[in-house]
């Protein structure tokens, strides 16, 4: 129920003014414009973030690949450097002797061992240096006591003629090793091999330095090209990365063993030339978003500041623009309520100020027009009162006069009858003719007075109606008996085309007859001898139309409405003094309208006129 009341309260109020509880334009506009600003700024920030993120990813992939390539190139140089250290020993005469003599002397072997001992370095405690004969036998070993696990055969290691070969990584006891070797040649012939086993063992800060140079949270890994072993830079074997997944344009893997808790990793690889190794750089995918996220934060803060400034500016502008409109609205509402003194104060010279000035001008004009209207309404009211009083006086006069005239007229009729009956003595033939004329004049005058009486009663709405179902045919036949002789006496032909006897109207029978008689009399009166008066009737749209047509002089178009006004006659001079006062049609139309019908006329000058009496048809059985 309260919801219904709320809904109704939300609609416009009864006097059409905007609801009082609705949000005004002054508040709505700043909110709306701030919202639009917010959407634009948010959209801009998100778009920028997206672009920055995509380019950050591209840059990161490129940089990580560069780091992988650089490390691969760095490692490539270790082969030649090793060669430089081994080559003087390979050319040493004791080494050549130990390799070429069928039975190397102990002193030669000791000298070789002494030479190899120079290669030892404190950085690699697991370093092993050996001299192998051409058929793969180990002639001298220095360094850590070496188990045979992971030792390659001489053929597998020494591939080049005079260059250092590097072998694949292998692991023993969670440590990663590799062999490097240099062939020992004499007179272009390979006589043996100098081999070294090294441990992959970068210093922890080496990795940190590389990561710092890369500028990212990178991890450096190596693996054999055939994927057989993955290791950290520090020489710790790790499982290969798994679960490959392409996110956008990034190829990612999981490698929590290397970077615990880092989620998915971006991996870029670079083959180390001259070795069976591949350098691999890993970077957590999440760290790629750091820069874009920072940018997003900065942009968001800047946007919020801009939004705040924009909202303040919008508020000021809207206030400046809407306040005059709000004042104008209040003034217009005042005017609508009838307070025409309402005005606004236009400030400045802009469009709103001009609108305010126009509003004031309009308000002044409305005020003047209203005053004028009130004055004319007052005088119209006064005039109506006067007219009504005059009309009432005229009605009273006409009623009184008609009434007063009837008494002497009746007396005249009485005395005429007295004389006619010979009660005052015998009458000559001339006297009897004169008496007939007096009698007809008396009847005519009485008729006129009756007409005036009816008119005044109609005018004062005092006439009573006895409404009933009336047969049109019956009315016409009664009227016919009354006027047909009179019409024929004027030398005018009369014909009644007949009405359906079942056709009935809802009307006062006497008054209907009075109208029909008036129309028939007029038809005869304004038609020259030799002319004709014809009556027909039909029914349409719930009404009955009784048409009285004559072939008389006709009525000019300009007079077609005027002939229904009281006391209007087309040409009074042409009429005989006994031809009426111009009330017949007035009374007839008023009677027809009072019974819910109408009286219409069509006429052509020189051809004739048709008067149509329209009355509401009834379908009920006739009571007449």
Q: Using CB under 6 A, list all residues that contact ligand ADP.
A: 522-523, 526, 550, 552-553, 555, 563, 568-570, 579-586, 609
Nearest to ligand ADP of 134, 559 (CB atom): 559
Nearest to ligand ADP of 579, 602 (CB atom): 579
* Pairing of the two strands 250-254 and 264-271: antiparallel
Which pair of structure tokens corresponds to residue 149?
């696990």
- Can you spell out the DSSP letters for 449-488? HHHHHHHHHHHTT-----EEEEEHHHHHHHHHHHHHHHHH
Closest separation in Å from C-beta 441 to ligand ADP: 16
Rounded CA separation 314/335 (Å): 31
Nearest to ligand ADP of 183, 580 (CB atom): 580
Closest separation in Å from C-beta 519 to ligand ADP: 8
Closest separation in Å from C-beta 588 to ligand ADP: 7
Nearest to ligand ADP of 318, 601 (CB atom): 601
Nearest to ligand ADP of 131, 520 (CB atom): 520
On whether the CB atoms of residues 231 and 75 are closer than 8 A, the answer is no
Rounded CA separation 581/445 (Å): 11
Closest separation in Å from C-beta 433 to ligand ADP: 27
- Of the candidates 255, 277, 276, the one whose C-alpha atom is nearest the C-alpha of residue 264 is 255
Beta bridge mates, 238 = 230
- Of the candidates 90, 499, 72, 427, the one whose C-alpha atom is nearest the C-alpha of residue 277 is 72
Instruction: Tell whether the torsion through CA atoms of 21, 26, 27 and 29 is positive or negative.
Output: positive
- Of the candidates 581, 551, 553, the one whose C-alpha atom is nearest the C-alpha of residue 569 is 581
Rounded CA separation 267/251 (Å): 7
Closest separation in Å from C-beta 585 to ligand ADP: 3
Nearest to ligand ADP of 303, 610 (CB atom): 610
- Contacts of residue 543, defined as CB under 8 A and 6 or more positions apart, other chains included, come to 597, 614, 615, 616, 617
Beta bridge mates, 613 = 546, 599
Minimal CB distance to ligand ADP: which residue? 580
Instruction: Tell whether the torsion through CA atoms of 474, 479, 482 and 483 is positive or negative.
Output: negative
CB-count exposure of residue 521 (10 Å: 0-12, 13-18, 19+): buried
Which pair of structure tokens corresponds to residue 83?
């060669």
Nearest to ligand ADP of 472, 548 (CB atom): 548
Closest separation in Å from C-beta 336 to ligand ADP: 50
Nearest to ligand ADP of 331, 563 (CB atom): 563
- Tell me the three state secondary structure of residue 415: helix
Rounded CA separation 532/159 (Å): 146
Nearest to ligand ADP of 195, 583 (CB atom): 583
Closest separation in Å from C-beta 603 to ligand ADP: 7
Which pair of structure tokens corresponds to residue 188?
């272009």
Closest separation in Å from C-beta 452 to ligand ADP: 11
- Of the candidates 521, 409, 522, 387, the one whose C-alpha atom is nearest the C-alpha of residue 459 is 387
Closest separation in Å from C-beta 566 to ligand ADP: 8
DSSP 70: H
Closest separation in Å from C-beta 620 to ligand ADP: 32
Nearest to ligand ADP of 331, 587 (CB atom): 587
Nearest to ligand ADP of 321, 458 (CB atom): 458
- Of the candidates 496, 502, 500, the one whose C-alpha atom is nearest the C-alpha of residue 482 is 496
* Pairing of the two strands 532-540 and 165-166: unpaired
Nearest to ligand ADP of 207, 484 (CB atom): 484
Closest separation in Å from C-beta 600 to ligand ADP: 13
* Helix 204-214 and helix 25-76, axial crossing angle in degrees, nearest 10: 130
Closest separation in Å from C-beta 609 to ligand ADP: 4
């Amino acid at each position: 129920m309260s919801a219904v009341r709320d809904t109704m309260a939300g609609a416009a109020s009864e006097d059409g003014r905007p609801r009082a509880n609705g949000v005004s334009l002054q508040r709505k506009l700043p909110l709306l414009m701030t919202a639009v600003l917010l959407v634009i700024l948010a959209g801009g920030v998100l778009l920028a973030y997206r672009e920055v993120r995509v380019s950050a990813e591209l840059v990161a992939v490129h940089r990580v690949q560069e780091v992988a390539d650089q490390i691969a190139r760095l490692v490539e140089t270790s082969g030649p450097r090793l060669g430089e250290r081994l080559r003087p020993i390979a050319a040493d005469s004791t080494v050549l002797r130990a390799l070429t003599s069928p039975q190397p002397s102990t002193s030669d072997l000791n000298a070789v061992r002494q030479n190899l001992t120079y290669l030892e370095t404190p950085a690699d405690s697991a370093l092993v240096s050996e001299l192998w004969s051409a058929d793969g036998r180990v002639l001298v070993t220095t360094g850590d006591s070496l188990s045979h696990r992971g030792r390659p055969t001489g053929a597998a290691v020494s591939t080049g003629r005079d260059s250092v070969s590097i072998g694949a990584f292998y692991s023993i006891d969670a440590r990663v090793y590799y062999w490097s070797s240099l062939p020992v040649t004499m007179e272009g012939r390979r006589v043996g091999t100098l081999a070294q086993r090294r441990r992959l063992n970068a210093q922890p800060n080496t990795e940190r330095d590389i990561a710092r140079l890369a500028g990212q949270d990178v991890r450096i890994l190596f693996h054999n090209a055939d994927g057989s072993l993955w290791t950290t830079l520090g020489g710790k074997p790790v499982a290969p990365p798994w679960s490959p997944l392409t996110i956008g344009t990034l190829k990612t893997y999981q490698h929590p063993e290397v970077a615990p808790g880092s989620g998915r990793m971006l991996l870029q690889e670079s083959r180390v030339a001259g070795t069976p190794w591949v350098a691999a750089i890993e970077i957590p995918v999440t760290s790629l978003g750091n820069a874009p996220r920072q940018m997003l934060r900065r942009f968001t803060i800047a946007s919020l500041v801009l939004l705040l400034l924009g909202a303040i500016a919008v508020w000021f502008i809207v206030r400046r623009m809407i306040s005059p409109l709000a004042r104008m609205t209040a003034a217009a509402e005042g005017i609508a309520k009838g307070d025409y003194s309402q005005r606004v104060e236009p400030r400045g010279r802009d469009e709103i100020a001009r609108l305010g000035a126009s509003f004031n001008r309009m308000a002044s004009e409305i005020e003047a027009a209203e005053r004028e209207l009130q004055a004319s309404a007052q005088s119209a009211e006064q005039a109506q009162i006067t007219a009504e009083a005059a009309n009432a006086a005229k009605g009273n006069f006409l009623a009184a006069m008609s009434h007063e005239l009837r008494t002497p007229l009746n007396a005249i009729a009485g005395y005429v009858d007295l004389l006619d009956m010979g009660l005052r003595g015998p009458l000559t033939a001339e006297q009897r003719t004169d008496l007939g004329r007096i009698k007809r004049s008396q009847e005519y005058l009485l008729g006129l007075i009756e007409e005036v009486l009816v008119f005044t009663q109609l005018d004062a709405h005092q006439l009573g109606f006895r409404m009933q179902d009336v047969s049109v045919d019956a009315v016409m036949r009664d009227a016919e008996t009354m006027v047909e002789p009179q019409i024929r006496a004027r030398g005018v032909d009369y014909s009644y085309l007949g009405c359906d006897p079942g056709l009935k109207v809802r009307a006062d029978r006497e008054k209907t007859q009075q109208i029909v008689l008036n129309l028939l009399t007029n038809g005869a009166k304004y038609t020259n001898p030799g002319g004709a008066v014809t009556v027909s009737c039909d029914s349409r749209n719930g009404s009955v139309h009784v048409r009285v047509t004559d072939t008389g002089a006709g009525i000019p178009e300009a007079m077609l409405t005027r002939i229904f006004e009281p006391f209007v006659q087309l040409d009074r001079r042409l009429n005989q003094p006994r031809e009426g006062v111009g009330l017949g049609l007035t009374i007839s139309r008023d009677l027809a309208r009072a019974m819910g019908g109408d009286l219409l006329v069509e006429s052509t000058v020189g051809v004739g006129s048709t008067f149509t009496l329209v009355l509401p048809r009834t379908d009920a059985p006739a009571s007449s």
